[in-house]
Structure 1
Amino acid sequence: MRFSVFTAATPEWSPEEAVRELAAQGWDGVEWRITDQADAETPGFWAGNRATWPLTGLEESVPEILRITNEAGLDFSAVGGYAQAADHDNVERMLSATAALGAGRVRVTLPKLPVGDYRAVFAATRADLEWAVERAELHGVQVLIELHHGTIVSSASAAYRLVEGLDPRRIGVIHDIGNLVHEGFEDLGAALQILGEYLAHVHVKNARWWPNGEFGIDGSTVWAPYWASLHEGQADLDWLFRALVAIGYDGWVTLEDFVDDNRPREKVLSDDLAFLRGAYERALMWAEWVASGAGDDDGAGPAEQA
């Protein structure tokens, strides 16, 4: 596997600073955030992010993106776009830029809930993706959709239903275990098998549910999900890597760490890289153990292994 960072997670750094630090730490690649964002006095993950390239005028930025990425010795794991699948003009822009960068793959986003008539919106989005796949074929790239809470596709089952029958060379799914803590979690072994040839990319972050300080009308505690560091969240990342190894996945794993815990950003990322590498190494050891005949071979979680 190869490891990269989505630059939403590096808001304080300029693009040059981001790639320089990632390369120095030993990351294999970068996933650039591309969107028109709001300004902010203090750089943040979603507004004022200094490591984000604007969608408006993206064509003019392509040579600079390519230059600083190549000079740092990093590869593109994908392009982190935010163009809605129904926004054909900007999807075309992202596909063209991805081809020019040689980045291979680009994310498009899906309608957010609530959508009114879910079936109608789902069908319309399928039509949008059919169009995107045709354009991706012409550009020689791949469209990615992400398992994401609060959208029409929060689970592997829903994502497979949306892309089933389309060319997996031109459309794939991003599995994101942190998003699944919010909504859409399915057994990891089953979920990855459901996606099958459509599993094209993996995002990793973590989250956990906490009481949000409010109470229901009956006095019950109200819970809400919050982002957490990789080692403190509810998602079992060892299970994720075992499940990925079990199906032979050997592609990109991109970090998305949106926790601000007062550690310097370079410390957060170096700790995260060590964590991810450790989880992968343990998964490989587990696979050897399974191959020896001592254990299960389905990437089972702790409870199932007991």
Structure 2
Amino acid sequence: MPKLAVFPKAFMQALCKDGTMKLSEWIELACALDVQGLEWYAGFLEMEDEKNWSGFRKDVEQHGKEIPMLCCSPDFTHPDPSFRKNEIDKQLRWIEMTYVLGGSYCRVLSGQRRPELSMDEGVQLATDCIKACLPKAEELGITLILENHYKDDFWEYPEFAQKMEVFCQLVNRIDHPNFGVNYDPSNTFLAGEDPLELLYRISDRVVTMHASDRYLIEGTIEDLRNEESGSVGYAKRLSHGEIGKGLNDYDAIFKELKRVGFDGWVSIEDGVDGMDQLERSVAFLRKKLKIYWPDFK
């Protein structure tokens, strides 16, 4: 049976960079929502000290919720082997963090789409690095989830495996019980592709999902693509919107996930315009999930 979680998309700067928001504040806000879990982010400032990890798990569980997923952004496509080794070491620490938090899923990415990198080189580098992390994941009972990503909030270049063909090639290279896909339909639009086409190709590998809706404040997807490299984070013309009011067809998405027996977490990336918006997105997804999984609580 699927479960709902929320992610603090609106508060990433405050929680990860300037420290103007404490995780205790986010926990209070998120646990007031009608969801079962809180997706965590490895880059929260307060997570730098390992002594805090078990305390945050306790705080969330005292509210009757859990931390099922850890969102991380390893950069496995750097040409320098020592840099990649450091990224693997960080990912191994994040796997441990997931375990201490009581989670089951830890995100991996391919890395940044650096201009000098060929497709074959990038796929091979990302494959090797992810495989190097799988023994630790298996040991601790954690599933590594590869997301069809657009661009980390703090990256200069977009995701190497942003395009469907590259993403599917990478997914097909890794056959392991502790590896699956975190499907994000909105990100597929940013690649200029059809999110349903991607879903139909990888639906049997999907174990978790990010739910959001996207729209462009101005211009076109082509305008976005022309400015997506060379600046840190998301382009200014891009915005997360309220779920159910954007481009995604959630009926088609959930119909396919139901068909393949999906029973994982759906984590909501929304609320950039306030907690009221996030509440409406929660209500929308709860209603949709109930249609396809009538026993959904």
Same-fold call, TM cutoff 0.5: yes
What's the offset of the Cα at 1:28?
0.5
| Contact 1:143 1:170 (8 Å CA) reproduced | yes
Q: Within 5 A, what are the aligned runs for 1:189-204?
A: 190-204=197-211
Given that 1:31 and 1:77 are in contact with CA atoms closer than 8 Å, whether structure 2 keeps it comes out as yes
- 1:17 and 2:25 are equivalent in the alignment: yes
With a CA cutoff of 8 Å and minimum separation of 6, indicate the structure with the bigger relative contact order: 2
1:137 Cα deviation from its structure 2 partner: 1.9
Aligned to 2:279: 270
| Corresponding residue number in structure 2 for 1:105 | 105
Letter in 2 for 1:84: D
1:132-143 equivalences under 5 Å are 132-143=133-144
> CA 1:200 to 1:9, structure 2 compared with 1: closer, same or farther past 3 Å?
farther
| CA 1:243–1:197: 2 relative to 1, 3 Å | closer
1:93 paired residue number: 93
Task: Quote the Cα distance in structure 1 between the aligned partners of 2:142 and 2:132.
Answer: 14
Rounded to whole Å, the distance in 1 between the matches of 2:115 and 2:62 is 44
TM-score w.r.t. length of structure 2: 0.76
Name the structure where strand makes up a greater proportion of residues.
Answer: 1
Distance 2:92 2:208 in 1: 21
What 5-or-longer segments of structure 1 have no aligned partner? 36-51, 217-223, 286-306
Q: Which has the larger radius of gyration?
A: 1
Report the equivalent of 1:77.
68
- 1:174 CA displacement: 0.8
Of 87-96 and 243-252, deviating more is 243-252
What displacement does 1:202 show? 0.2
Does residue 237 (structure 1) correspond to residue 229 (structure 2)? The answer is: no
Quick one: which amino acid aligns to residue 269 of structure 1? L
Identity percentage of aligned residues: 20
1:207 pairs, out of 185, 207, 214, with 214
State the number of aligned residues.
Answer: 256
110-119 vs 138-147, greater mean Cα deviation: 110-119
Tell me how large the CA RMSD over aligned residues is: 2.7
Is the 8 Å Cα contact of residues 8 and 270 (structure 2) preserved in structure 1?
A: no
* Deviation of the 1:140 alpha carbon: 2.5
Distance 1:72 1:66, change over 3 A: same
Structure 1 residue 155, shift from structure 2 partner: 4.6
**CA distance change for structure 1 residues 129 and 205 in 2, over 3 Å: closer, same or farther?**
same
Secondary structure (helix, strand or coil) at the match of 1:114 reads: coil
| TM-score, normalization by structure 1 | 0.74
Partners of 2:4 and 2:267 within 8 A in 1 = yes
- What displacement does 1:225 show? 4.4
Aligned to 1:279: 288
Q: Post-superposition shift, 1:165?
A: 4.9
* Alignment match of 2:48 (pick from 48, 56, 70): 56
Unaligned runs of 5+ in 2: 15-20, 77-83, 151-157, 224-236
Going from structure 1 to structure 2, the CA distance change for 1:54 and 1:112 (only over 3 Å counts) comes to farther
